[in-house]
Amino acid sequence: MNPDRRPLIAANWKMHKTLAEAISFVESIQRETGPCSDREVLIGPPFTALKAIRDNLKQQGYSLGAQNCHWEEKGAYTGEISPLMLKDLGCAYVIVGHSERRQLFGETDETVRLKTAAVIKAGMAPVVCVGEVLGEREGGKTFEVVGRQVEGALGGLSAEQMDGVVIAYEPVWAIGTGRTATPGQAQEVHAYIRARISSLFNKAVEKNVRILYGGSVKPSNIDALMAEPDIDGALVGGASLEVGSFKSLVQFNV
Ligand code: 13P
């Protein structure tokens, strides 16, 4: 963690929680943590709970985010939700290019790029997910894959448009497996992403962009991960679903 960048602890609930469960969670977590001034907490529920959470999110430091969107503002796209609609609902962030969407729903670097640009245009911050699969890591291709995904999503944006953009490094082999990247493994890729951002944009963007780590983050490993200089937060799946474990993550110590 670098004190210049406010740490972001983000919950990606994926396809979990009914309305009642979502409301109960946000009421409890806000009560348990109190205001957060030196860190930011992002709640990313399914679309169905966005409005209810917006209405119940009152604590300082808490923000609302969606897990996906379409890239068009409106049109004949049955079943899709536009960035404009998410902005209208009070979202500050939208997760784009999560590996589950790339692997299970056919997302490509090109659709991730379109979504990233659309989220920025609508006045929100994208959380752009990148990460290699196990075979790519074992084949020594991690930097190549992550570099291609970063450039694929962000290439073509201006330095001004990068203001607020968040990148999440989520090695696919660490998601939901209990097998976390070691702090050293994560730091190495985060430093690589930051250097890549510098060559795509400039030093100011490199210094300001927040890069989250995701993949089996839990209370027992958050402190060591957050102690790394280029890890600015966490994107959390499983451990964000229970108030007790998510509270410990929000209250990480360095
Ligand atoms: P887990 O924390 O369950 O490994 O999920 C990580 C993730 O995919 C967050 O987007």
pLDDT at residue 199 in the model: 95
Pocket test of ligand 1: the residue of 96, 107, 175, 177 to mutate, having most ligand atoms within 8 Å of its CB, is: 175
Torsion-angle region of 131 (φ positive above 0: left; ψ -120 to 50: alpha; else: beta): left
Residue 2 pLDDT greater than 90, yes or no = no
pLDDT digits (tens, 9 = 90+) for 113-149: 999 999 999 999 999 999 999 999 999 999 999 999 9
Facing residues of 40 across strands? 8
- How many Å lie between the centroid of ligand 1 and the Cα of residue 138? 21
The model carries a pTM of 0.97
**Nearest to 72, CA basis, from 58, 59, 86:** 86
Contact 147, 198 (CB under 8 A): no
- The span from the CA of 251 to the CA of 223, in Å, is 9
User: Which protein residues are within 6 Å of ligand 1, measured from CB?
Assistant: 12, 98, 170, 175-176, 214-217, 235-239
Contact 159, 142 (CB under 8 A): no
Q: What angle do CA 93, 99, 102 make, to 5 degrees?
A: 100
Residue 254 pLDDT greater than 80, yes or no = no
pLDDT at residue 223 in the model: 97
Facing residues of 96 across strands? 128
pLDDT digits (tens, 9 = 90+) for 71-122: 999 999 999 999 999 999 999 999 999 999 999 999 999 999 999 999 999 9
Q: Tell me the domains of the chain and their CATH numbers.
A: 8-22+36-250 (3.20.20.70)
